[in-house]
Structure 1
């Protein structure tokens, strides 16, 4: 039975409430859940919104917490993206702290994100923000940019065969196996719904390989006016030069929301995902059965006004999110970067920002998401951004230009099990490095 997105998510949240009470979940189903493990690099979560008044990430994200951004042997780290002479979206969006129109109340307390933005999805008006052009790692929210490129180029009806490379990719995986048969429609749903890094890899191979896919993604971002964004991996795994901003995430997501197929995938609660055959070269191997794949966006389940979004996590990016909600015919976008699940789960912080945005009058604006228009009306921007190269191809960084201060996903065969897992861990599902 098909339900409108808002009704469907509300129903899914009701299932979550029942499942949380311990009903309808067998021990076998519970054993299918692989709980996300706390990162050994996790630092104490901030109790208040971080102070960004000195613009610590104007040029580059904070230093990584691990070795994920070290260039491959023989390759060099990229130089930081240039900062446009005129702030994209309007002059007020250059501020690194709170950006509010006169008379607009202070934002909710207990927002842990270092950077966030609230905007009107339809008009593009930015209603409130904090360090909107601060550069952080996007984690899996960058999959929205990959989806934009893929929708333009791949045949959704084409069937591809899964590979060992897909199956062995790091981080969260949808469940692609070598020899399995998957339509591109399934891969795109696995990318959007379940944040599958294996799906991202399979899609990238059809776009000309990883480096060519990154070139296309970065070119697309530049065309949208998302000039803080450089994709270093198609999936959102951290890599040399990976960068985006709360402003850019909103610009990219707004563009994706113009595609009704993308919106439909965001609003799909679960799908049947195929299994894959035994490896004939491996004695004792066996066929893997298909399974039910659920939508992993907790905001969708827990916030009735949600109409879809994309969350992400890596050790260095922390929690990230971009999504939309609708109330009384008004649609908003919220994006958050570098957030923590303290003092409250990130999904609740996102919900608070949505509620806050719905309380702001539509004429109380501080900028616009019509990024290209704001650039065209200002001074010319470095056109080399439109030809942004993948990290493997960029020249050696100039140290003087650097800022001082960036197990296979286990899916469930039971919808109740999936929901319980989300509630048990209080917020977005995290993999070892990316969600």
Structure 2
């Protein structure tokens, strides 16, 4: 009987040995999140042959003549699939069985749930475009957390160096304005003078160039890998570009801040007088018509340059849902940019709450090149008390985990006792 027990125990231990030695640590919430992120963001874009619903043409009004833009950089397939494979195409990404979105003249757009980050639909959301003044949102995302709204800042000559005739608050050389006034001037009046001051202030010793560098660093942190800032204001500059998906990431980061939401929802503000320069104070109105005309509007940002055409970012709340719309490259006929945004918001609010074709990635979710991390930080390296073929804290003795020895040792002891009993009986 002892021999039978010994044979049975050794056989059981040997059968269990491969699974014991190859088993890894139990799945944790963190590893499940990494797996989910990889599934969402690492898929290749679908091919045009037999492509799914993401390749349907985008509903658009009759084509209009558009200015020639500089060629954008090549689109990295990994960047094109950020947020999910459905978003990788140049066409319409929308769930089957839902009403067709309204035709808009924007070359690309996206509608997302501001709270959950679920992407409801988009048209070429990863196609390169020129941002115009909606890029001021990236300045806000990068610099607003680091500036004291009560700080007074003096305007310098370099702050007033921007394209003549472009939008400005009307800051006075040598004038002193609070950072809060500058944010209001940036978001209500799209002030390029305010953008220069804020970028200079946020750039530290490197001044405005440091502010632009901070904007680009913030874009990478957010996962907006198709965005590159050349100017703090969004005025056209060499190599400046973005995408509708990236602008949604940036806008979502902005709307997560209470101070930004307060600024963006301000309909009217006052720029203070500058007595040393004999200038009177004056009011500024929010030029985002969505805020004034759309029920539940939370604000956003408008933009226009000859090269970019019209761009728009807006958010609104209805029946407990908060949606965000971004659109780029729009022409005013048949509708203004904010009206096209409003039409897409109306359409989005009419969709079921669980509608989803993709996801806005979370800050820091992606690796340094826009790809999801393939494994947790430090994976593949042996930590103290951990071995490559064992669970954390297991020791290997002669290449065998101690847990295996824990099975074999009692069996060997039983066998030894059985032999002693047999010897005593002889």
TM-score by length of 2: 0.67
Cα 1:81/1:159, change in 2 over 3 Å: farther
- Superposed CA deviations along residues 236-255 of structure 1, whole A, max 9, x for unmatched, are 00001111011111111011
CA distance in 1, matches of 2:226, 2:184: 27
1:84–1:381 contact (8 Å) kept in structure 2: no
Between the two proteins, the alignment pairs up a number of residues equal to 309
CA distance in 1, matches of 2:208, 2:72: 17
1:322–1:334 contact (8 Å) kept in structure 2: yes
Cα 1:83/1:357, change in 2 over 3 Å: same
CA distance in 2, matches of 1:101, 1:331: 19
The aligned residue for residue 100 of structure 1 is 94
Extract unaligned runs of 5+ from structure 1.
Answer: 1-45, 52-60, 70-76, 280-286, 383-435
The correspondence for 1:222, drawn from 220, 223, 237, is 220
Q: Report the Cα offset of residue 276 of structure 1.
A: 3.4
The aligned residue for residue 74 of structure 1 is none
- Superposed CA deviations along residues 330-353 of structure 1, whole A, max 9, x for unmatched, are 100000100011012222211111
The aligned residue for residue 182 of structure 1 is 177
The aligned residue for residue 298 of structure 1 is 289
The correspondence for 2:321, drawn from 330, 340, 343, is 330
In terms of mean alpha carbon deviation, does 259-268 or 95-104 score higher? 95-104
Q: Report the Cα offset of residue 370 of structure 1.
A: 2.0
The aligned residue for residue 113 of structure 1 is 106
- Relative contact order: is structure 1 or structure 2 higher (C-alpha 8 Å, sep ≥ 6)? 1
1:348 aligns with 2:360: no
SS in 1 for 2:130: coil
The aligned residue for residue 48 of structure 1 is 61
The aligned residue for residue 191 of structure 1 is 186
1:169–1:197 contact (8 Å) kept in structure 2: yes
CA distance in 2, matches of 1:114, 1:371: 25
Cα 1:214/1:82, change in 2 over 3 Å: farther
- Superposed CA deviations along residues 336-387 of structure 1, whole A, max 9, x for unmatched, are 10001101222221111110000111222100012558746x99369xxxxx
The aligned residue for residue 399 of structure 2 is none
CA distance in 2, matches of 1:356, 1:379: 31
1:134 aligns with 2:132: no
The aligned residue for residue 359 of structure 2 is 368
2:222–2:364 contact (8 Å) kept in structure 1: no
The correspondence for 1:210, drawn from 208, 211, 231, is 208
Cα 1:318/1:369, change in 2 over 3 Å: same
1:240 aligns with 2:238: yes
TM-score by length of 1: 0.66
CA distance in 2, matches of 1:252, 1:299: 19
The aligned residue for residue 19 of structure 1 is none
2:106–2:330 contact (8 Å) kept in structure 1: yes
Q: Report the Cα offset of residue 130 of structure 1.
A: 0.3
Extract unaligned runs of 5+ from structure 2.
Answer: 1-58, 374-426
1:312 aligns with 2:306: no
Cα 1:340/1:205, change in 2 over 3 Å: same
In terms of mean alpha carbon deviation, does 128-137 or 161-170 score higher? 161-170
In terms of mean alpha carbon deviation, does 186-195 or 317-326 score higher? 186-195
The aligned residue for residue 84 of structure 2 is 90
SS in 2 for 1:214: helix
